[in-house]
Copies of this chain bind each other. A is one copy, B any other.
Amino acid sequence: MTAPHPRLSINQATIKHADLATALQVTADAGVGAIGLWREPVQKVGLATAARMLTDSGLRFTTHCRGGFFTMPEGPDRRASIDDNRVAIEETAALAAAGAAGSTAVLVLVAGGLPAGSRDLTGARERVRDAIGELASDAAAAGVTLAIEPLHPMYASDRCVVSTLGQALDIAEDFDPTTVGVTVDAFHIWWDPDVLAHVERAGREGRLATYQVCDWKTPLAADVLLSRHYPGDGVIDLRALTHAVIATGYDRDIEVEIFNEDIWATEPEDAVARTADTFGRTVASYLAT
């Protein structure tokens, strides 16, 4: 077993059933240098405690997952979502400050799907832009980058109306790149005929806030949310995509984020070891070439 690649970050969702203490411990024990956290386990212990635990772990903090879900029309639900995103921005800033040197204050944004009963995809997409407009000044004040994540088009109706990297960049364009960037997650965008050009554009425009990997294979899981696999176990051309990301000058950590019932059923130590191993044999091997 070789040491994990120094740029590997474990996204906490990969070991979903581990609480925060376990996730930090297992990641650090494996010799991994960084972690991306999720809001629920952080809130379960409280932000101040979570920040102290993160500091004690010695790990870098890479992203906070996740804000967004603001496609609904004006009203109390939308106000509650905007307010909650402000909390997420504060959490992100606190955790980035608590992480080891090299941590990044990145809040991943998943836009949300069509409001119930609506077919107005264009309107929902406009409301994403509006919401980010409301949050940009808070993000700037906190030193946090909002990283718009395009999700695969199979989630367009119920989870995320932002479906391509090009579309995410078009929304981001209205804002300062240190405040609003994009999430490049291989699973969501690998199929796009224009993906390499979009990655190049994201780099050129200074918006590539985080690069996340896993793999795609078929048949898809019955619940398509849980159909992500270890890097190398599927068909994504991670070599071409990683080369394109690195060619932009991206020098941050790279997260592995996997939602998969079978992987969640394994011990978190085993999932982290397998993640480090598969990352080493795929993505890491393309970083130096």
Q: Please, how many angstroms separate the alpha-carbon atoms of A217 and B154 in the complex?
A: 10
A235 in contact (CB, < 8 A): yes
When chains A and B are docked, how far (Å) is the Cα of A130 from the Cα of B240?
23
Pairwise interchain contact B157-A216, C-beta atoms closer than 8 A: yes
> What's the nearest-Cβ distance from chain B to residue A166, in Å?
8
Instruction: Let me know if A156 is at the binding interface, CB within 8 A.
Output: yes
For A217, the chain B residues whose CB sits under 8 A away are 157
Residues of B contacting A122 in the complex (Cβ-Cβ under 8 angstroms): 240
CB-defined contacts of A237 to chain B, threshold 8 Å: 119-121
Taking a contact as CB atoms under 8 Å apart, the answer to whether B193 and A235 are in contact is: no
Smallest CB separation, A266 vs chain B (Å): 23
- A17-25, A84-92, A201-209, A218-226 - the one binding chain B: A218-226
The answer to whether A164 has its CB under 8 Å from any CB of chain B is yes
Residue of B with least CB distance to A155: B218
* B154 contacts A236, C-beta separation under 8 Å: no
- Please tell me if A248 contacts chain B, counting CB pairs below 8 Å: no
Fill in one digit per residue for A183-194: 1 if any B CB lies within 8 Å of its CB, else 0: 000000011110
Query: In the complex this chain forms, how many copies of it are found?
Result: 2
| Partner of A218 from B157, B167, B190, B193 at Cβ < 8 Å | B157
Q: A118-B235, A121-B191, A193-B167 are in contact. Are A154 and B152 (CB under 8 A)?
A: yes
A240: chain B residues within 8 A (beta carbon):
122
Shortest Cβ gap from A244 to chain B (Å): 12
Asked if residues B236 and A158 are in contact (CB atoms below 8 Å), the reply is no
Q: When the two chains form their complex, are residues A192 and B218 in contact, meaning their CB atoms are under 8 A apart? A: no
Contact A119 B235 (CB under 8 A): yes
**A57 contacts the other chain (CB 8 A):** no
Those of A80-125 within 8 Å (CB) of chain B: 114, 118-122, 125
Report the separation of the CA atoms of residues A167 and B219 in the bound assembly, to the nearest whole angstrom.
24
Q: Nearest Cβ in chain B — how far from A114, in angstroms?
A: 6
Known: A118-B235, A121-B190. 11 other contacts (CB 8 A): A119-B239, A120-B237, A121-B191, A125-B193, A153-B153, A157-B191, A157-B218, A157-B235, A163-B193, A164-B193, A166-B193
What 4 A-B pairs come out closest when comparing CB atoms? A156-B191, A222-B222, A154-B154, A153-B191
19 CB-based A-B contacts, threshold 8 Å: A119-B236, A119-B237, A119-B239, A121-B191, A152-B153, A152-B154, A154-B154, A154-B220, A156-B191, A157-B191, A157-B216, A157-B218, A157-B234, A158-B219, A164-B192, A166-B193, A167-B193, A222-B222, A224-B224
